[in-house]
Amino acid sequence: MADILIVEARFYAHLNDMLIAGARAALEAQGHKVEVLTVPGALEIPGAIALAAEADRYDAFVAIGVVIRGETYHFEIVAGESARAIMALTMDGIAIGNGILTVENEAQALVRADPAQKDKGGEAAKAALALLALQDRFAGR
């Protein structure tokens, strides 16, 4: 049993609820313990994961959030920088499943967030578990 931290940027609560439900179901189905931490936005997710990883209380992480394209360049910054920072942490050996949706509109987000449809929260949780299994494999556990 692993301790998994879901870090969510709670900007679109109804979409996050679906993403978290999918992630939680995937993790708990395999007997893992799950906690949820909320941060203000997607740009804060990697920093929160880095801080939590330093505390050495969690085995893996799932990043959850929704970034919907708006009228300004802000979308590109948030989408790109959050993904870049999560990838950097992953390259440092932290098991992270990236479930931050970057979409054109809410309709796309609904399909991807819904556990009964694309279940991107569940997929992100499974990705985190796959990386955790690789950590265990290469550490000889």
Q: Rounded CA gap, 35 and 24, in Å?
A: 9
Whole-angstrom CA distances from 124 to 47, 74, 84, 139 are 18, 24, 16, 23
Q: Rounded CA gap, 64 and 83, in Å?
A: 11
74 is catalytic: yes
The catalytic residue among 14, 33, 57, 74 is 74
CA quadruple 72, 74, 77, 83: dihedral sign: negative
Residues recognised as catalytic: 74
